[in-house]
């Protein structure tokens, strides 16, 4: 496990240090006679705690072992809030490369992914490079966050980038943009139903698939301590026990949920120091407000989810619409007396 620093703030680069680091990067570059204004790189906390094998697998995807070798573009798949983006951020920090993040949505257009024309004050058109194109040009890393929320038309514009060609074509600017040899990328994808089906010709370019699961108890405690070093041990223990129980029941409550729950509970306790709220009362209120009333009883919630998904229920027949299962008149009912005769 990657243990957090005793002083987590030391591991978190400041915005000032990030701007100093990339101050030498040009804000405007020229490609094919067209000036492009680049996006600013992203800077944030980047530690990855636990599941070290996942981090090593992602870094292996970005290795090149020969001049003719190319980096891979992996898919990071998992439930919302398990740290897929954080994993990619931490891997980028290990590489020492500038980081760019593009948030994919259902209405993302190809020009949003590549180059967007903007009308300047002087009435002239200025071309702004997306975070993806900026990473291609500067030799950075681009994370396409929640990539399976994009439609096929947008993905099609990236097909030549994620194979041996490694370029994109901007119809808006009328130029072809090659990727730097240092350019790396990864795509995060949530496992939920509010997504598009990604075509096979794109999936074949986004390999391998790295599954990001829920952390174990020790790692989950370390994650919460890292993000909330001011939280009291009792509150941390309540939250970790809740999350671990939800993981056992196959529910989707994540470390992110635990962090938000704790933040609200701590703020409620500090809101009026003259009338302190008990730890368990504040935690229970935060649980209901952040995760809903149904989160109070995990076992019942898990049972309802199981029934909704079908569970192990036997398919109903026509007779089940008119008779209860134990009704003597049910034509498919098997009596104990019949079993004895058999």
Enter the CATH code of domain 28-211: 3.40.50.300
**pLDDT for residue 115:** 95
Domain ranges of the chain: 28-211, 217-309
Residue 188's DSSP bridge partners are: 76
Task: Output DSSP code: residue 33.
Answer: T
**pLDDT for residue 319:** 56
Residue 266: strand, helix, or coil: helix
Q: Which residues of 123-161 are buried (b: 16+ CB within 10 A; e: fewer)?
A: eeeebebbbbbbbbbbebbbbbbbbbbbbeebbebbebb
**pLDDT for residue 17:** 45
**E strands along the chain, which residues?**
28-31, 34-37, 75-78, 99-103, 115-119, 125-129, 141-145, 167-170, 175-178, 184-190, 209-211
**pLDDT for residue 2:** 45
For residue 209, the surrounding DSSP H or E stretch is strand 209-211
What is d(CA 298, CA 12) in angstroms, rounded to the nearest whole number?
35
- Percent of the chain exceeding pLDDT 70 equals 80
Sequence-distant (≥ 6) Cβ neighbours of residue 36 within 8 angstroms = 28, 29, 30, 115, 127, 128, 129, 133, 137, 173
Q: DSSP secondary structure string, 285-302?
A: HHHHHHH-GGGG-HHHHH
The pair of structure tokens assigned to 60 is: 């292996």
**pLDDT for residue 11:** 44
Q: Which residues of 85-96 are buried (b: 16+ CB within 10 A; e: fewer)?
A: bbbbbbbbbeee
For residue 94, the surrounding DSSP H or E stretch is helix 84-95
CA nearest to 214, candidates 80, 66, 45: 80
* pTM, to two decimals: 0.78
Mean pLDDT of the chain: 84
By DSSP bridging, strand 184-190 and strand 141-145 are parallel
Tell me if 262 sits within 8 A of 236, measured CB to CB: yes
**pLDDT for residue 14:** 42
pLDDT digits (tens), the chain, 342 positions? 444 444 444 444 444 444 444 445 458 999 999 999 999 999 876 789 999 999 999 999 999 999 999 999 999 999 999 999 999 999 999 999 999 999 999 999 999 999 999 887 778 888 999 999 999 999 999 999 999 999 999 999 999 999 999 999 999 999 999 999 999 999 999 877 666 788 899 999 999 999 999 999 999 999 999 999 999 999 999 999 999 999 999 998 999 999 999 999 999 988 877 766 678 888 999 999 999 988 888 888 888 877 776 554 444 455 555 555 566 666 666 555 554 544
Tell me if 296 sits within 8 A of 289, measured CB to CB: no
Backbone angles phi, psi at 279, to 5 degrees: -55, -50
CA nearest to 186, candidates 295, 72, 52, 292: 72
């Amino acid at each position: 496990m990657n243990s957090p620093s005793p002083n987590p703030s030391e591991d978190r680069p400041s915005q000032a240090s990030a701007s100093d680091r990339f101050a030498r990067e040009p804000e405007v570059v020229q490609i094919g006679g067209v000036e492009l204004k680049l996006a600013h790189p992203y800077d944030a906390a980047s530690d990855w705690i636990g599941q070290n094998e996942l981090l090593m697998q992602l870094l292996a995807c970005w290795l090149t072992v020969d001049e003719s070798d190319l980096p891979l573009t992996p898919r990071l798949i998992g439930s919302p809030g398990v740290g897929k983006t954080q994993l990619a951020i931490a891997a980028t920090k290990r590489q020492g490369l500038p980081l760019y993040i593009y948030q994919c949505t259902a209405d993302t257009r190809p020009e949003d992914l590549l180059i967007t024309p903007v009308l300047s004050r002087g009435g002239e058109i200025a071309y702004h490079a997306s975070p993806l194109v900026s990473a291609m040009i500067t030799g950075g890393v681009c994370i396409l966050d929640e990539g399976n929320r994009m439609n096929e038309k947008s993905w099609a514009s990236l097909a030549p980038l994620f194979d041996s060609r490694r370029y994109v074509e901007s119809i808006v600017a009328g130029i072809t943009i090659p990727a730097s040899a240092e350019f790396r990328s990864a795509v995060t994808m949530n496992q939920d139903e509010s997504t598009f089906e990604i075509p096979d010709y794109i999936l074949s370019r986004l390999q391998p698939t790295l599954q990001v699961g829920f952390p174990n108890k020790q790692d989950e405690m370390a994650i919460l301590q890292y993000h909330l070093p001011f939280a009291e041990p009792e509150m941390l223990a309540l939250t970790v026990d809740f999350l671990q129980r939800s993981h056992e029941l196959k529910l989707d409550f994540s470390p992110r949920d635990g962090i938000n729950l704790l933040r609200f509970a701590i703020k409620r306790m500090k809101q009026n120091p003259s009338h302190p709220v008990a730890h368990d009362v504040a935690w229970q209120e935060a649980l209901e407000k952040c995760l809903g009333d149904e989160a109070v009883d995990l076992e019942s919630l898990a049972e309802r989810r199981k029934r909704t998904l079908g569970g192990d229920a036997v398919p109903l027949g026509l007779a089940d619409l008119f008779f209860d299962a134990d009704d003597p008149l049910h034509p498919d009912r098997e009596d104990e007396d019949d079993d004895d005769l058999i």
